[in-house]
Amino acid sequence: MVEHILNLKNTALNDINLAQTLSELEEIRVKYLSKKGEVSLLMGKLRDLSPEERPAFGQQVNVLKESLEVALYQKKQVLEDQALLLSMASEKIDVTLPGYQFYQGSLHPLNQVIEDLEDLFVGMGYEVAEGPELENDHYNFEMMNLDKDHPARAMQDSFYTDETMLLRTHTSPVQARTMLAKKGEPLRIICPGKVYRRDDDDPTHSHQFTQIEGLVVDRNITFANLKDALLKMVRHLFGPERMIRLRPSYFPFTEPSVEVDVTYIKKDGSIGYIEILGAGRVHPNVLRMGGYDPEIYQGFAFGVGVERIAILKYKIDDIRHFYTNDLRFLRQFKGVNK
């Protein structure tokens, strides 16, 4: 038996020694050390031995196994080194070729506007809230004080998947969802997200666009608080010299409601106004449906189009640039907010 082990060892070491390539070496490993290899077969012979002979035999086979493993490992290193040297000698590198230019990605301009506004409002104690894009009629309209045959629905509703579900037409349903989730606690949120409406294919409209909704509900909230939040937002976005103008308007979910214009300098040097968002004091019905007593709690809300902000801020002439992912367009916005 001992002799048999010795023979096996010698042949195996000899095989390993003679191996020329890594794949030959692997074949040798399989031949000797795999589950059905020679060393396992030898172990199998334990059964034929008497109990006294077994420990010594088992130990010798283990020693054999270890020495083969060591030899295989060492030979593998040698062959790998050889292979590397060989490939370095045969492959040529032309060090005179110019380097490859590579581009670092950057945030989409719309996401830059969203992140910028999130930073601003989170700094003022707001939380960022989100809601589903496929929304229930109940949240999208009814809880926003637009019941089933409210005429204002006609301006918006477009993409229904069945009787009750539609692609949300604005981020306002997140107001309703958050109010219910807060169960009567005061809240301050902003909610960025995609919204959907049928629209003409023209340079200023898209069937899918992005909004940021703001909502504050607390005691003693007045229109002056809304004005403060809006002015801070506008100046943060467009510069400290900007002014805002609040024009009376109508939204079913706010009362009173305003449209908000921001000043800009016209070509002739005079001051003009451009509309950027809708806002108002939260309608008592909306508060009530959201679980707040309008006698105790008041709120303000606003909804702003992110594309519109980006168009004004970066002077973009066609809303469709945002969605075509043309790198020549996108690369211009790298780091513009920093």
Pairing status of strand 244-251 against strand 254-265: antiparallel
CB closer to ligand DAH out of 17 and 204: 204
DSSP, residue by residue, 84-139 = HHHHHHH----TTSPPPP-------HHHHHHHHHHHHHHHTT-EE----SEEEHHH
The span of 1-9, 21-29, 50-58, 275-283 binding ligand DAH (CB under 6 A) equals 275-283
Question: CA-to-CA distance for 7 and 271, rounded, in angstroms?
Answer: 101
User: What is the smallest separation between the CB atom of 203 and ligand DAH, expressed in angstroms?
Assistant: 19
CB closer to ligand DAH out of 75 and 214: 214
Question: CA-to-CA distance for 185 and 291, rounded, in angstroms?
Answer: 9
State which residue has the least CB distance to ligand DAH. Answer: 303
Q: By rule CB under 6 A, what string of x and - marks binding of each residue 171-200 to ligand DAH?
A: -x----------------------------
CB closer to ligand DAH out of 301 and 316: 301
User: What is the smallest separation between the CB atom of 318 and ligand DAH, expressed in angstroms?
Assistant: 21
Q: Measured between alpha carbons, how far is residue 70 from residues 39, 73, 138 in Å?
A: 15, 5, 72
Instruction: For the chain, give the number of residues.
Output: 338
Question: CA-to-CA distance for 170 and 197, rounded, in angstroms?
Answer: 9
CA triplet 132, 138, 140: central angle to 5 degrees?
50
The span of 2-10, 93-101, 301-309, 318-326 binding ligand DAH (CB under 6 A) equals 301-309
Q: How far apart are the first and last CA of the chain?
A: 79
Interaction of residue 301 with ligand DAH, rule CB under 6 A: yes
User: What is the smallest separation between the CB atom of 278 and ligand DAH, expressed in angstroms?
Assistant: 3
Q: By rule CB under 6 A, what string of x and - marks binding of each residue 218-257 to ligand DAH?
A: ---------------------------------x--x---
CB closer to ligand DAH out of 57 and 251: 251
CB 109 within 8 A of CB 330: yes
Question: CA-to-CA distance for 156 and 138, rounded, in angstroms?
Answer: 15
Question: CA-to-CA distance for 286 and 290, rounded, in angstroms?
Answer: 6
User: What is the smallest separation between the CB atom of 277 and ligand DAH, expressed in angstroms?
Assistant: 7
Interaction of residue 302 with ligand DAH, rule CB under 6 A: yes
Question: CA-to-CA distance for 121 and 113, rounded, in angstroms?
Answer: 12
The span of 20-28, 41-49, 278-286, 327-335 binding ligand DAH (CB under 6 A) equals 278-286
Interaction of residue 112 with ligand DAH, rule CB under 6 A: no
User: What is the smallest separation between the CB atom of 170 and ligand DAH, expressed in angstroms?
Assistant: 3
CB closer to ligand DAH out of 190 and 316: 190
Residues 6+ apart with CB under 8 A from 201: none
Q: How many residues bind ligand DAH (CB under 6 A)?
A: 11
User: What is the smallest separation between the CB atom of 151 and ligand DAH, expressed in angstroms?
Assistant: 14
Among residues 64, 143, 230, 279, which is the contact residue for ligand DAH, using CB under 6 A?
A: 279
CB 231 within 8 A of CB 238: no
Which chain residues interact with ligand DAH by CB under 6 A? 170, 172, 213, 251, 254, 278-280, 301-303
